[in-house]
Amino acid sequence: MNKKELWDKFDSTFRDFDLENGAYAAPGRVNLIGEHTDYNDGFVMPMAIEKEITMLAQLRPDKKIKFYSLDYDQLVEYDLNNLEYDQENVWANYLLGVVDEI
């Protein structure tokens, strides 16, 4: 999916509010040698790969957060005051954990 298609999907899914939004991306990474040895002064050889993860985000005026997964074609919504493990949508739990920590 190209960036225009991503923004079109974002607009059709999340444009509830006319607030600031942004796009964020991080490259994929592989470790050729040295998995979990770098913090023990061991040798490592990580490198970025052509795959990446992209996140589009928009501020909200309420205490809600929504996630949409292109892979699962699912939209979920949570209350920031009551974040709990989601048994039904386990793909969202890593994101919930990150949000809970920040």
Give the predicted TM-score (pTM) of the model.
0.69
- Measured CA to CA, the distance from residue 67 to residue 86 in angstroms comes to 12
Distance separating alpha carbons of residues 49 and 1, to the nearest angstrom: 17
Query: What residue ranges in 2-63 does DSSP mark as E strands?
Result: 21-31, 46-58
**Per-domain residue ranges of the chain:** 1-58, 62-102
Tokens of 44: 């490592």
- Rounded to the nearest integer, the mean pLDDT of the chain is 87
- How far does the chain reach from its first CA to its final CA, in angstroms? 29
Alpha-helix residue ranges (DSSP H) falling in the chain: 3-14, 93-101
DSSP 35: T
The tens digit of pLDDT for each residue in 44-74 reads 888 999 998 888 888 888 999 999 998 899 9
